[in-house]
Structure 1
């Protein structure tokens, strides 16, 4: 089914490993495969790695665990997980694994949807790991299986594939209760989504909530109250946690020195980065690396 799926070692400042091709004969932007076959072909992919495409897996049978951005989850039947490009992933599966794997390029929906931010508007592609792993509700399971089985069948054109994924994503998104919702105030929901997007784009160089508040045309107090109400964390904590996450991602790459990571994350010196990391994580960067 898949014409080309290979691993490439990514050097320079791009961490770990990326699976560089997601193509099948229908379109160079998507790959749909049975989980059992996928794992057989990627039997050596048991170390932390990241993807340069969107990725989701539905488990219909099997056990073990998997981690996304250092948060660990036990596998259970009908669990589904979603990953955005750049997230760190590792698995340790047990027994006979059944299910479906879908990898698709960020431009898959480019020519079919007017909204360019469609994927980031979905709760499970928000970048918050807690929203990306959940169990499909029993009432939806047969429909979800049917959609993925038809896609796996590989006899449908790309228009059918994109429309089916669009339907599947909307179905699952409607069933979800994300970490923050638009129920109380859609304006605040939009503000928070924009804040999270700004953090993702600027966390290496912008560390102060007031700088983000200025970009959002609100006061720092408003931004802080918004974050605490909808996510239970202050704006500063959300920025800090994103910096720490990137530090952890880089620390699992043995070729990076702690000094290089500090420089990459725009810290003035190695000692300041070490103090910052230990205060938040509880161990030094070197200790964290030794236990990975």
Structure 2
């Protein structure tokens, strides 16, 4: 097949360009699909993205994890994640694309979205099946957002932002009931900071001790905390992030395996290939082929 570059789409224009001044768009999902028949798959977004399905079937994937499409399902994506869908029955629902700045303009906390479980960047937490009795409230909120965008009234964006926050809080309560939400304490804050540091430094820092030093704790403490809360040792969280980025880069057919290895700061192509196969069961070449030949 011909080489292609994994496209990264921006808001509104849905083109292979960086984010523009347009920070928000919303639409009915069927109209969005009709207007953007030329979307390439797989692709990445440079914005936050959510879809609520009211009809349809098929499948979609977030960062190479597959999910069935079902009525009543809502999914969320953060910037940079790789997305793909394959519909068997024409879907209907709602779509919202927005930048982080769009929300932070209203709230003082620049990291406001971090508190919602579905904006964790972990695909397994980003797809939520909404109980039937709760769906009318979501539809009501999404219809309100569509009306505000179409009307263009004074303070339209502030009204949309407040309704979106209501939507996020409502879905977050359904995804993580109050009795299951851990009280914010030193350990939970420490783990959150560890995960943020991984996102910032996974290329050049691949050892638990590196992150423990930045967090002013011992490697044993960080490892025990990670295993207690996530079920995975600290080193595995670091490794999972490296593997995820490797997969994202491998989908870009214009990057050689050696270039991917260099980007992720491995010593050489051979070591990277052994690392990737050890933890995925596939060579980088076979993984790339499995995705791009779909």
Pair in the same fold by TM > 0.5: yes
Unaligned runs of 5+ in 1: 1-10
Does the CA-based 8 Å contact 1:182-1:189 persist in structure 2?
A: no
Structure 2 counterpart SS, 1:268 = coil
Structure 1 residues 153-185: Cα deviation after superposition (integer angstroms, max 9, x where no partner):
22251110001111111111122239xx65266
After TM superposition, give the deviation of residue 207 of structure 1 in Å: 0.5
Question: How far apart in 1 are the matches of 2:183 and 2:94?
Answer: 36
After TM superposition, give the deviation of residue 187 of structure 1 in Å: 2.3
Does the CA-based 8 Å contact 2:59-2:85 persist in structure 1?
A: yes
Task: Give the number of aligned pairs.
Answer: 274
Question: How far apart in 2 are the matches of 1:111 and 1:86?
Answer: 21
| 105 and 289 in structure 1: CA distance in 2 versus 1, 3 angstrom threshold | same
- If the length of structure 2 is used for normalisation, what is the TM-score? 0.89
Do structure 1's residue 109 and structure 2's residue 103 form an aligned pair?
A: yes
- If the length of structure 1 is used for normalisation, what is the TM-score? 0.89
Question: How far apart in 2 are the matches of 1:18 and 1:259?
Answer: 22
Which residue of 2 is the match for residue 290 of structure 1?
289
Which residue of 2 is the match for residue 237 of structure 1?
236
Q: How does 1:85-234 map to 2 (within 5 A)?
A: 85-153=79-147, 154-155=150-151, 157-177=156-176, 182-183=181-182, 186-234=185-233
After TM superposition, give the deviation of residue 199 of structure 1 in Å: 0.6
Question: How far apart in 1 are the matches of 2:11 and 2:176?
Answer: 33
After TM superposition, give the deviation of residue 47 of structure 1 in Å: 1.2
Question: How far apart in 2 are the matches of 1:22 and 1:215?
Answer: 39
Which residue of 2 is the match for residue 60 of structure 1?
54
Does the CA-based 8 Å contact 2:11-2:97 persist in structure 1?
A: no
| 31 and 185 in structure 1: CA distance in 2 versus 1, 3 angstrom threshold | closer
